Amino acid sequence: MTSLSTISVSASRKRFDRFAGELARTQGADMLLSTDGFPAQTESLVGVEPVAELIFTDKTTPDNAKAFCFGTPGPTFGFISYDFGMLLRGVGSAKKRGGPLGHLRKYAATIKFDNGAARIQARSASLARDLAAALERTPDADSAPAMPAFPETPPTASLDRAGYEAGVRETLERILSGHTYQLNLSTRFSRRCPGLDPLALLLTLRRRHPAPFYAWFSSGPRRILSTSPERFLRVSDGQILSQPIKGTARLEGDRTVAENLLKSSDKESAELSMIVDLIRNDISANSEYGSVRVENHKSVFAVDNLLQMYSDVRGTLRADRDCLDLFFDAFPGGSITGCPKKRSMEIIEELEPHTRNVYCGAMAVIRDRRNMDSSIAIRTAIFDVETEFLDFFAGSGIVVDSDPAKEYLETLAKAEKFLSLEKT
């Protein structure tokens, strides 16, 4: 097995971010960029010069992913689609899929950044040295990415207001008949954006709307732009952390008042509690008995001009299991399916005219058998450089006391940073 050369360089977040953006621009690097100060803050990662990739088809198994991730040293980065989760959970679909079911890469070099230090791991000492030197030469200042080109046409929606509200009403009927307790319904907005510079768009959004799980990944002609605030599963030396988000309020007026209103809402609290019980369930399959616990229930943070409620769900990975056993048994994340998971996914498949693909899947960094981190790929767009279509998605969790009109407005609020480009 090849050993890796490692160099550590101290750097400010600004310098690292600028360096990462330049590597993405000039060398086609993939990246996960975190932001400090969020409960789901993570280590940033840049992957340079792909040396191997695993493109998921409907024949790919979790064991194939394990062999790919654990067979050679160094981190793996990429996405696993919601549609692959449908296969895992035995939920069928006749819809045409819009891309691979997942895409993972290994790189000649990766750069990890956290707490003012960049750690470069490369398959050759000279590549590690070159990257360290390039990082040190990078100005310690924000870059000013070119403004994205403005779209010339308004977006079309797979579920427009009337369609979405009808979907909510149908979901309520399914809730009353006992088939689901909560269901996450989404809509897809598509917009032709000729000449769009998707990397500039992502970097501009990140400066304006920071969040802990920004990701950039190239998959064939598709560029994935993920601006997620939500952690799916982290495993650190076998310690599991999931941080499901449920409960949303506009961040306006006095923050303390708005936060207290959110936390005291029976509806929003029930939404979160259901998903916390589901996440407890999903990590329990691979956790030591007695280790699964809930901490910081109903905590709140602000992102995208919204207040979001979340909880920490923790456990200890069983000694005979690895992080991908945990990942694939729990995938896709409960906060974007609803509960119970399988029946809710079947209803989603019936009610949504689009495929979710990367949206509601996960961006994941897999380091070894007992270390990984992953997002829930919400607030996520896909830009196809051939068709020049930008697809972005938004959804909301429907519970028995949901109001169809309010749920539609919640989806618009979540899509706003991609919808309101022309205003920025």
Partner 1 sequence: MNILLIDNDDSFTRNLEHLLAASVPGATVEVTPYARLKDADLEARDLLVISPGPGAPSEYLGYDRVFSAEKPILGVCLGMQIVNERFGGLTGRLHGCVHGKTDTLFMDGAEHVVARYHSLHVTEPGAGLDVLAANRDGIVMCMGSRTQRVIGCQFHPESFLSRDGGWFIDFALDYLGLR
Residues forming the site for partner 1 (CB under 8 A): 175-182, 266, 269-274, 276-278, 280-282, 284-285, 287, 289-290, 292, 294, 297, 334, 339-343, 399-400
Minimum CB distance to partner 1 smaller for 103 or for 280? 280
What are the residue ranges of helices labelled H in 89-176? 125-137, 161-176
Q: What is the distance between the alpha carbons of residues 276 and 105, in angstroms, rounded to a whole number?
A: 31
Residue 146 DSSP symbol: P
Q: With b meaning 16 or more CB within 10 Å and e meaning fewer, what string describes 280-289?
A: bbbbbebbee
Identify how many contiguous H helices and E strands the chain contains and give both numbers: 11, 20
Q: Answer yes or no: 295 catalytic.
A: no
Q: How far is the CB of 357 from partner 1 (least distance, A)?
A: 23
Listed in sequence order, the residues at least 6 apart from 139 whose beta carbon sits closer than 8 Å to its beta carbon are 15, 18
CB of 403 to partner 1, least distance (A): 16
What is the smallest separation between the CB atom of 272 and partner 1, expressed in angstroms? 8
Cβ distance to partner 1 smaller for residue 207 or 342? 342
Name the catalytic one among 106, 230, 268, 414: 230
Angle between helices 13-27 and 125-137 (to 10 degrees): 120
Q: Which residues are bridge partners to 328 per DSSP?
A: none
Question: In the annotation, is 230 catalytic?
Answer: yes
Find where tokens 């982290």 sit: 234
Q: State both tokens at 387.
A: 């068709």
Beta carbons of 376 and 233 less than 8 angstroms apart: no
Q: Which is nearer to partner 1, 192 or 318 (CB)?
A: 318
Quick one: 166 or 270, whose CB is closer to partner 1? Answer: 270
- Residue 70's nearest CA partner among 373, 343, 372 is 372
CB of 297 to partner 1, least distance (A): 8
Q: How far is the CB of 279 from partner 1 (least distance, A)?
A: 9
| DSSP states of 5-66 | EEEEEE--HHHHHHHHHHHHHHH--EEEE--TTSTT---EEEEEEEEEEEEE-TT--HHHHH
Nearer to partner 1, 181 or 189 (CB): 181
Confirm if 332 and 275 have CB atoms less than 8 A apart.
no
202 burial (CB, 10 Å; 0-12 / 13-18 / 19+) is: buried
How far is Cα 201 from Cα 204, in angstroms, rounded to an integer? Answer: 5
- Pick 173 or 254: Cβ nearer partner 1: 173
Residue 248, strand partner residues: 308
Give the residue among 155, 56, 109, 42 at the shortest CA–CA distance from 415. 155
Find the shortest distance in angstroms from Cβ 285 to partner 1: 5
User: Catalytic: which of 106, 112, 246, 417?
Assistant: 246
Residue 264's contacts (CB-CB under 8 Å, 6 or more residues apart) are none
Q: Which residue, 93 or 281, has its beta carbon nearer to partner 1?
A: 281
Between residues 111 and 278, which has the closer beta carbon with respect to partner 1? 278
Q: Minimum CB separation from partner 1 for residue 244, in Å?
A: 12
Shortest spacing between CB 82 and partner 1, in angstroms? 17
Which candidate, 229, 304, 299, places its Cα nearest to that of 259?
Answer: 299
CA distance 345 to 162: 22
- Active-site residues: which are they? 230, 246
